C-alpha cells in the first residue's frame, strides 16, 4: 500500500481504464490540455490526445447528449461536469433520456455512462457552485449514485462505475481532493462494488450513517466524543446512495439501537430522511430511541465564510446531535 491523494486516485482510475479499454473516453469543459478546473484530468491529454479527451463548448446539454449517443453506440463515456450544480442545465438529457433508455427499449439498449464532478461547500463558492445533489439523482430510477470519501474507495468505485452498463453519477467533493489515504500499488487492479457500505469505525452506543466529506467530519466527531465523553460511536460509510446497502446499516443498528443519518445536503427530502424511513419500515424493533437525521437547513449556501460554516452540518453539529440523542 502507498499513501496518495483523493485527486490522484481518481486520475489513476481514469488513466487505467482508458489504457485498458479503448471505448472509454472523456468529455467536458477544459479537461484536455488544461487538465480540468481542479486538475483531476491533468497529464491525461499528453497520453490520450484530443480524440479521447474531448474539450467542449460551455453547453452541458449538448455534450451530455453527445455522450449518451456514444454510450448507446457502444462507447463508455465519462462526462465531467465542472460543478455538479450544472446537472440542471442538462437534466432532460440525464433523467428523461439516459435513465430511461434501457427500460423503454425492453433491455435492448445499455447506457454505460459515468457523470462525474465535484459538489459541496467549504470553499465559499456561493449558492450556485456549492450544492450537494445526490438526492436529485437518487430520485430517478435508472441511475446509480455513488459518493466515495477515501482515495481507496474513490479509485475502486470509479473503475466499477466505468465498467458498469448503467448510468452512474459519481459524486466527488471539493474538500476531499487533497485529503490522503492508502491505495494499492499502481499495478494492482481492483474495484469497490457499487451498492456496498463499509463500517469505517466500530462502536456500540450509536450508529452514524454518512458518506462523502461528511464521513471525515463524522470520524473526527466520533474520536472527540470518545475522548471527551467516553462514547463509542459506530460510523457506516454508505459509499453508494443508489443502490443503498440497508443490510449493513441494519446490522449496525441492531448492535447499537440508535441511528443518526448525516449528510451535507439539505435535510428536507434528503437521503437521511430516506434512511430513517426505511429503518422504520423494515426493522423498527431494532431502535431503542427515535432515529434522527442531520443535514443542511433550507437556505442557499452563503459566500461569507462564517455564514457558510454556520450552514454546513459538520463536526460540531454532529457532536451536538449525538449528545442530544444520548442525553
CA distance linking residue 327 with residue 323, whole number of Å:
6
Whether residue 243 has a cis bond before it, omega within 30° of 0: yes
CA distance linking residue 62 with residue 311, whole number of Å:
34
Is-contact 12 155, C-beta < 8 A? yes
Q: Which residue has the cell 491529454?
A: 45
**Is residue 263 among the annotated active site residues?**
no
How many Cα atoms occupy the beta-carbon half-sphere of 87 within 13 Å? 25
The grid coordinates of residue 21 equal: 479499454
Residue count of the chain, please give it: 327
Looking at 129, 134, 234, 264, which residue is catalytic? 129
Q: Is the torsion defined by CA of 40, 45, 51, 55 positive or negative?
A: positive
The grid coordinates of residue 318 equal: 454532529
**Is residue 129 among the annotated active site residues?**
yes
**Residue 21 CB partners (closer than 8 Å, separation 6+):** 76, 162
Looking at 60, 134, 172, 264, which residue is catalytic? 60
CA distance linking residue 311 with residue 308, whole number of Å:
5
Is-contact 313 262, C-beta < 8 A? yes
Which residues share a beta bridge with 115?
Answer: 79, 169
Which residues share a beta bridge with 262?
Answer: 294
Active site residues: 60, 129
Amino acid at each position: 500500500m502507498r499513501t496518495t491523494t483523493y485527486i490522484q486516485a481518481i486520475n489513476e482510475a481514469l488513466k487505467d481504464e482508458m489504457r485498458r479499454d479503448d471505448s472509454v473516453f472523456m468529455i467536458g469543459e477544459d479537461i484536455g490540455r488544461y487538465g480540468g478546473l481542479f486538475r483531476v484530468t491533468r497529464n491525461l491529454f499528453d497520453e490520450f490526445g484530443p480524440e479521447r479527451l474531448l474539450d467542449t463548448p460551455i453547453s452541458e446539454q449538448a455534450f451530455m447528449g453527445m455522450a449518451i449517443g456514444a454510450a448507446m453506440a457502444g462507447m463508455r463515456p465519462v462526462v465531467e461536469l465542472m460543478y455538479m450544480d450544472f446537472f440542471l442545465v442538462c437534466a432532460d438529457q440525464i433523467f428523461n433520456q439516459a435513465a430511461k433508455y434501457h427500460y423503454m427499449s425492453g433491455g435492448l439498449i445499455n447506457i454505460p455512462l459515468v457523470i462525474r464532478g465535484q459538489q459541496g461547500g467549504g470553499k465559499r463558492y456561493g449558492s450556485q457552485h456549492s450544492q450537494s445533489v445526490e438526492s436529485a439523482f437518487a430520485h430517478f430510477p435508472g441511475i446509480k449514485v455513488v459518493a466515495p470519501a477515501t482515495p481507496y474507495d474513490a479509485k475502486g468505485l470509479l473503475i466499477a462505475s466505468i465498467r458498469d452498463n448503467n448510468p452512474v453519477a459519481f459524486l466527488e467533493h471539493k474538500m476531499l481532493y487533497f485529503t490522503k489515504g492508502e491505495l494499492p500499488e499502481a499495478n494492482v487492479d481492483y474495484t469497490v462494488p457499487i451498492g456496498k457500505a463499509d463500517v469505517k469505525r466500530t462502536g456500540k452506543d450509536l450508529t452514524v450513517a454518512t458518506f462523502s466529506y461528511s464521513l471525515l467530519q463524522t470520524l473526527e466527531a466520533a474520536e472527540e466524543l470518545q475522548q471527551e465523553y467516553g462514547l463509542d460511536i459506530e460510523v457506516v460509510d454508505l459509499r453508494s446512495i443508489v443502490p443503498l446497502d440497508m443490510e449493513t446499516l441494519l446490522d449496525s443498528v441492531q448492535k447499537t439501537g440508535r441511528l443518526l443519518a448525516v449528510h451535507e445536503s439539505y435535510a428536507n427530502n434528503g437521503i437521511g430522511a430516506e434512511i430513517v424511513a426505511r429503518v422504520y419500515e423494515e426493522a423498527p424493533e431494532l431502535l431503542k430511541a427515535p432515529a434522527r437525521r442531520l443535514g443542511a437547513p433550507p437556505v442557499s449556501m452563503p459566500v461569507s465564510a462564517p455564514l457558510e460554516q454556520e450552514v454546513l452540518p459538520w463536526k460540531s453539529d454532529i457532536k451536538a446531535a449525538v449528545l442530544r440523542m444520548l442525553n
